[in-house]
Structure 1
């Protein structure tokens, strides 16, 4: 395997560059998935039937807490990649751990929010609006959950093998995934929650 030392370690081999390119293609498919979920939501947003509306359900404190957790985690994963490029393995791992803890906090608030909705009579079967809301938020939450497991495995590999062309490539691809989830959250925040509160 030929390593190009003029490039960052995660890009240093042709295989690594192809993996990153392939992951960008995968993210294109993910964009299509979430675009479909948003389209379904916008079609069903007024189909509340006898159930509650977004204005009745959405609460600013939980929304802001989720947003702070996830957007801060985007910053810390950026710091992790920066530390990785400087060859500072301990700092990189620490920022990775902070990122995953923030992601876990986000999930905890989202689960709490879902439980509150159910207690208020808002379930998947209540209305078209709620079924599309739960599906969109649940799909994003499932992606965050996957990210928590994926990030944990990367931390374990880096602790075992160090910063190699292979481990840095995996960490960088993970960071692309995590940033993507944050971008999706900005759309959820803007077009589902904020619009729903108006």
Structure 2
């Protein structure tokens, strides 16, 4: 049910996305989805831990492959996007449509910068023939990081559709629920990236 915000409803303490039992159940179901996605990434991390140093006869090793400059930029971009996503939810909770749209758009730009940098990083590896099939290490690396990158790409597309819906429908029970679910998804990806940055890149340069 697509219910617009009435002036008298702005004083309610309960967020709009939780005022409908139907929408609240959808949010609960989305938490279950995130739990299954967590299991997926846990499996990929476990595989990477096993094959991290199985570089084959011709390398490269993690220390040789990784360049922290672009990775630090990706980290700053993605963590900043988590903050701007939080600001979008804050604006939404205060019934400010324009602010919600602006901060969601900024989140998209930062996410796109992350993906573009990661693609450039992968293309550089491929140019050096450091491809997925060269070693067990590279296979596990590209699978883990690529899976996260594909999730971020999906999140950007999702956020773009939300911008269109917000511009056309405003803040309703449905659109606020979707923005809230997107924020959960986006923060989840930020947490996964912190683990990737630490477990994959930092440990790869140090160990």
What residue is the counterpart of 1:106 in the other structure?
114
What residue is the counterpart of 1:15 in the other structure?
22
Alignment partner of 2:42 out of 35, 41, 47: 35
Say whether the 8 Å CA contact 2:60–2:130 is kept in structure 1. Answer: yes
Instruction: In structure 1, list runs of 5 or more residues that go unmatched.
Output: none
What residue is the counterpart of 1:119 in the other structure?
127
Say whether the 8 Å CA contact 2:92–2:176 is kept in structure 1. Answer: yes
Alignment partner of 2:94 out of 71, 86, 95: 86
Say whether the 8 Å CA contact 2:53–2:62 is kept in structure 1. Answer: no
What residue is the counterpart of 1:153 in the other structure?
161
Cα shift at 1:7: 1.1
What residue is the counterpart of 2:6 in the other structure?
none
Deviation digits for residues 130-157 of structure 1 (CA, Å, limit 9, x no counterpart): 0000000110010011001110001100
Structure-2 separation of matches of 1:124 and 1:51: 12
What residue is the counterpart of 2:54 in the other structure?
47
Say whether the 8 Å CA contact 1:44–1:128 is kept in structure 2. Answer: yes
Return the TM-score normalized by structure 1: 0.97
Stretches (4+) displaced over 3 A: 3-6
